[in-house]
Structure 1
C-alpha cells in the first residue's frame, strides 16, 4: 500500500523546519523507527552531512532516527531496505542528476510502490510527478533525463505563488510559466501553495492543508480546488 506525503515546502513563514507537518509526520511514519534521508538537492550548496544533521534534529522530536543515504556504499540497496524515506528540498536539477548518477531512481520508485512511507518536500516533491519540468529551480546541472518517479499522474509546482497586483515585478508569473509548459506538454500540473501537501494512501490521492491548490490542464483555463479534494481525476 503506497503511503506518500508530497509537501510544497519544508518551512512555512514563522515556523521551524518541518514544524507545521510534525503531527502529520508522526502518524505517517508511526510504524518505523528509522528514516533514510536523501540530501542530494543541497539547498544553498550545503553538504550532505550538514543537511542530514538538520533533519536528524527535527525527527528526534518524534523519536525517529535518521540516516543519510550518503553513508552507504550501496545506495540502491539502502533505498530498497529503508523503513521510511525522506527526500529534502533544494535544487531539483541537482537532485535528479544525482538520482540518475547513483542509480537510485528506479529503486526509489520500487520502494514507494511497495509501501515504504515516503516524504518529499519541494524538490523531493517535484520528483513525484511525471517529470521535473515544472520546477522553479535554475538548471545549474544537466540531468540524464527530466523523467522522474511518476508516483502521481501529473506534474507538480511546489511553492506556487499567485500574482501580486501591486507588485512592480515585470517578469513572468508561475501561471505564465505553466502555460508555457503546456505549449509543449499535455499532462496536468498542480500548483501547491506553501503549507499544503498531497497525501497518497494506497490508490487515493488527496489535497491536504489549509489552502486551495491551482490546477492547470491542457487547453483549459486554470481553476482552484479546495483542500481535502480527491485528485484522482487528474489523469
Structure 2
C-alpha cells in the first residue's frame, strides 16, 4: 500500500497566526513520531527555511534533506518527507537535478506531506501551479502521488476587482481545454488527505473542476475517494 499523502494549500494561515497553526492536528496524525526529511528546494535560502519550519513544527523530528551527503539515497529510504512551498519550478528543477524526484518515485511507502509548491509536486504534473517559471525544470511531470491536479491558494473571482487578467477559474478552464485531469482548487486553510484508498478534504472548502462540467463546491469533510479510484 503506498504511503499516505497530506497536501496543504498553504503554510501561513491568514490573520497572523503561527505557521501551520490551522493544520497542527492533521499534521500530528499524519506524521506521528516518524523522522521527517524536509525538502527546502522551493526557496533560495535552504537553511533559513528549514529553521523556520522546524520552529513551527516542534517537537516534530524534522531533518534537512539538503544537508545530507546523498539526498537522493536518503529520500529513497525515507519513512516520511515534507516538501515546503516557494517556487514550484525551482523545486522541480532541483529535485530532478539531484535525483530526488526519481528516488521518491521509487519509494511509494514514504509518507508524503506537501505545502503549496510541495503540493504541486505531488500531482501528476505541475501544470496547475500559480508560479512563474523562473527556471526550466526539464519537464513538467511530477510525482503523481495523487492522480488529480491541485491548484493551491485558490482564489474566487472578485466582482469588485478592476484586474483585467484571467481569474483562477479561467486559467483552470484553459488547462481543461488541453487536459482531462480533474483539478481541485484548494482555498487557503484547506488540505487533501489520502489515507490508503480514501481521499478527504479538510480544513476549508475547495472547488472541483472537471473538463466539460461546471465547477463543484466541496465542503470540509467531503469524501472524494472516487477521484483516486476512477
TM-score, length-scaled by structure 2 = 0.94
The answer for the alignment partner of 1:197 in structure 2 is: 191
The answer for the alignment partner of 1:78 in structure 2 is: 74
CA deviations over 1:167-225 (Å, ceiling 9, x no partner): 1111110001011111111111110000010001111111111x221111111121212
The answer for the alignment partner of 2:151 in structure 1 is: 157
Residue 232 (str. 1) matches residue 225 (str. 2): yes
* Post-superposition offset of 1:67: 1.5
Residue 22 (str. 1) matches residue 20 (str. 2): no
Residue in structure 1 matching 2:50, options 49, 52, 55: 52
Other structure's SS at 1:182 match? helix
- RMSD across aligned C-alpha pairs, in angstroms? 1.3
CA distance in 1, matches of 2:118, 2:139: 16
Residue 184 (str. 1) matches residue 178 (str. 2): yes
CA deviations over 1:117-161 (Å, ceiling 9, x no partner): 221000000111111000000011011110111111111100000
Q: Gapped runs of 5+ residues in structure 2?
A: none
Q: Gapped runs of 5+ residues in structure 1?
A: none
The answer for the alignment partner of 2:62 in structure 1 is: 66
Other structure's SS at 1:160 match? coil
TM-score, length-scaled by structure 1 = 0.92
Count of residues in Structure 1 that have an aligned counterpart in Structure 2: 226
* Post-superposition offset of 1:110: 3.0
CA distance in 2, matches of 1:41, 1:54: 14
| Structure 2 contact 85–116 (Cα < 8 Å) conserved | yes
